[in-house]
């Protein structure tokens, strides 16, 4: 898209495209580019946040398993941990 804007600027300078039409089109393209960048940043931020959440959940579940190792509650705790892990994994 940046290459398209550069080419359009050249066309405006070379009088191939009318200045007012070119300026309006460049403004529209810049707005579209900023919108796309914002969407990508939001998506990446969401994925980063989910990754941090998953890492924290993994750590908490591992610590719980270590605390209750060789305890009668270890089996049910492992089952509950797997259920929690699956639920977190499929949340949006």
Predicted local distance difference test score (pLDDT) of residue 54 = 84
Please write the tens of the pLDDT for every residue from 27-81. Answer: 888 888 888 888 888 888 777 888 888 888 889 888 988 888 888 888 898 899 8
Predicted local distance difference test score (pLDDT) of residue 4 = 79
The predicted model scores a pTM of: 0.49
Residue listed under structure tokens 């270590």: 66
Q: Are the C-beta atoms of residues 74 and 65 closer than 8 Å to each other?
A: yes
Q: Angle, nearest 10°, between helix axes 2-13 and 19-67? A: 170
């Amino acid at each position: 898209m940046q290459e398209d804007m550069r080419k359009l600027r050249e066309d405006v300078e070379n009088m191939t495209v009318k200045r007012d039409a070119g300026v309006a089109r460049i403004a529209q393209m810049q707005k579209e580019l900023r919108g796309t960048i914002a969407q990508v940043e939001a998506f990446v931020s969401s994925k980063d946040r989910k990754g941090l959440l998953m890492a924290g959940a993994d750590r908490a579940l591992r610590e719980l398993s270590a605390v209750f190792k060789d305890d009668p509650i270890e089996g049910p705790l492992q089952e509950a941990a797997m259920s929690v892990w699956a639920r977190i994994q499929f949340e949006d």
